[in-house]
Amino acid sequence: MKKIALLVTTVCATALTYISCSSNDDIATQTDTTAVGASISIDAANEMDVNTGLSVTNSSATSKPAAAVCATITVSGTTYPKVYTVDYGTTGCVDNQLTRKGKLKLTLSGPVTTTGSKLTIERIDYSINGIKLEGTIEYTNTTTVATVPQFTRKVTNGKFTDLLGRVYTNSGTYTVKQTAGVDTPFVLEDNVYEMTEGTHTVTTEKGTTLTFTVQESLIKKYSCQYISKGKLKIEGGLLKGVIDYGNNDCDSKFTYTHESGATYNLQM
C-alpha cells in the first residue's frame, strides 16, 4: 500500500488534535481534498459534543459528568424540558488535551432513554483547539426494540472554520444503534454505537461539495475518541472513493482509496 500525502497537509491543518505528519513522496495537490480533512474533524467534533451532552444530562446532582470536567455547568428547570449550559469560558479550559472555549446549550425534552426524547445541542461562540464550530445537533431517541436503543443524529446549519480561516458548511443525518452497554444505562464508558446508515455533505467556501454516505456500518466506542471501524463513500469534485476507518482499533488512523485503486494512509 503506497503511503503518500494526498490529504496529509489538509488533515494536519484541520484536525482537532496534534498530528504527526510525514511522507517520503511528493504532495499531490487537489483543490477539493481539504473537505475530506474537514469532514473527518467535523465528525470527531460532533461525536465529542454528543458525548458531552449525554454525559452532562446523564449525571446526577451528586456525580460529576465524565465529559466537560473543566466547564461550569448550570441547569435550568426541574421538570422537562431541562436546559443545561456547559460554559468553558472565553479563555477556554483543557479536557483530554483539547482546549474548548465558549458554551454548549443542551436542551433535553425528556429522559434520553425514552423513545421520542430529544437532546438538542447548540454551539455558542464555541471552538475546539482554535477551530470554530457552529450549528445545531439533534440527537433523538427513535428506539422501536427496547433491547436495541436507536437514535438519529441530525446536524443543521453546521459551520466549521479551520485554523487558516477556511469555512466549511455541513449538514446531514445518521442513524445510530447502541450495540453494547445497554444493560448499564447510567454507565457510558462501556457503550458502543453503530452508525448503520446516513449521509452528510460538506461544502467549501469555493463551492466544492462532497457527499459522504455510510457504505459499511461505522463503529464508535464511547471510550474511543474516533470511529474505529467502518467505511464512508465519498463523491464530489475530483474525489470518488472510500474512507476506511480500520479494524476496530482505538486509534486515529484511516485510509482513503480512490476509485483508481490508489490508497493513502492517513492519521488524525
| Secondary structure of 71-91 in HEC code, one letter for each residue | CEEEEECCCCCEEEEEECCCC
Cα 230 versus chain centre, distance: 14
Banded pLDDT at 33 (limits 50, 70, 90): low
Cell, residue 125: 461562540
Q: Which residues pair with 177 in a beta bridge?
A: 150, 194
| pLDDT beyond 60 at 30 | no
Residues 14-27 have pLDDT tens digits of: 444 333 333 333 33
Cell, residue 114: 425514552
If one compares 182 and 81, the residue with the highest pLDDT of the two is: 81
Say if CB 158 and CB 169 are below 8 A apart. yes
State the average pLDDT over residues 59-83.
75
pLDDT at residue number 268: 64
Break the chain down into helix, strand, coil percent, rounded to 5.
10, 50, 40
Q: Is the peptide bond before 81 cis (omega within 30 degrees of 0)?
A: yes
Residues 82-113 have pLDDT tens digits of: 999 999 999 999 877 889 999 999 999 999 98
| pLDDT beyond 60 at 64 | no
- Reported pTM: 0.79
